[in-house]
Amino acid sequence: MTYREALKQGIREALHADGRVFLIGEDVGRYGGAFAVSKGLLQEFGEDRIMDVPLSESGFVGAGIGAAIAGMKPIVELMTVNFSLLAMDQIVNNAATLLHMSGGQINVPVVIRIGCGIGRQLAAQHSHSWEPLFAHIPGLIVLSVGTHEDARYMLAEALKSPDPVIVFEYTSMLNSEKEIPANITQVDISKTKVRRVGKDISLITYGTGVYKCMDAANELAAMGIDVEVVDLRVLRPLDEETILASVSKTHRALIVEDAWKSVSISSEISARIMEKIFYDLDAPVLRLSGVEVPIPYPVHLEEASVPQKNDIINAVKKILNHD
């Protein structure tokens, strides 16, 4: 199944399961979604459930928040993460705060899906990995869809939350194909997932880094290096217990992300490792992040701006040699 189809089937299943669920966003209806994720859903569910909206992120995200307060289960789609800045007032000052400001009386069970990540030659206007901006905000649950199984089943769990959930989906992965194991029918959005068990080093990552790290781990295994791959999956609140348990076991950590290194997810994880289990480390924690430049348009520069499989392999070898 393609990543795109997995996302679509997750939305379709949610619409069938609960009549309160509806999808709202730019071009989600007649056009079938900017990335064809919602193609065909308008014909199946009608205009009351699949709603095209004007180009006003603040307006339709606010409508989603209002609908959630009124008892509906809206799925709000933001086409790309750069457009989310236009809705930040609604997300940060309303969705994330209303439960607190109402003394626990008002829940905001809205799910906001955001196209994210580096790739597809979208250049500096549309290529961003801004997950750290949202992971900074109390009151939000922030999820990263790094695998096909999460693309298929994460939305259903997000819709169960009484609190606002931000779901990052990765446009560069839309056409990629993977098998989803038949025995997986739901995922745990409160827990980090160890995708590969190993003993020599923990590769901690999320989003597009997951499959890159898995591929790197397979190549490193041929060199006799046993790598553990940890998919963060939930970026807020972090599953600190699973992360620290992995590093305590392997005694080394490499954190991989497309986001810029300064004030990032990797910054936070590195700090927590140093604060909580410093004496379990056999080598310094290393971070492998995006180059701190606006993302270039040419493919070769775009690829050079974020960690690739060979970068991960070289970094792991460096850490082990240091030891």
In tens, the pLDDT along 55-109 reads 999 999 999 999 999 999 999 999 999 999 999 999 999 999 999 999 999 999 9
Task: Give the pLDDT confidence score for residue 81 in this predicted structure.
Answer: 93
Residue with tokens 């206007």: 125
Query: Quick one: average pLDDT of 109-137?
Result: 88
Name the percent of the chain lying above pLDDT 70.
Answer: 99
Query: Quick one: average pLDDT of 179-193?
Result: 91
Task: Give the pLDDT confidence score for residue 286 in this predicted structure.
Answer: 97
Instruction: Check whether 132 has a pLDDT greater than 80.
Output: yes
CB 198 within 8 A of CB 213: no
Pairing of strands 227-231, 193-196: antiparallel
Which residues carry out catalysis? 57, 126
Task: Give the pLDDT confidence score for residue 72 in this predicted structure.
Answer: 97
Q: What is the C-alpha separation between 61 and 66, in angstroms, rounded? A: 9
Instruction: Give the pLDDT band (50/70/90) at residue 299.
Output: confident
- Four-point Cα dihedral 315, 256, 227, 303, nearest 10: -70
Domains and CATH numbers, the chain: 3-173 (3.40.50.970), 193-322 (3.40.50.920)
Instruction: Check whether 323 has a pLDDT greater than 80.
Output: no
Instruction: Give the pLDDT band (50/70/90) at residue 127.
Output: confident
Average pLDDT along the chain = 94
Report the candidate in 83, 15, 20 with the shortest Cα–Cα distance to residue 54.
83
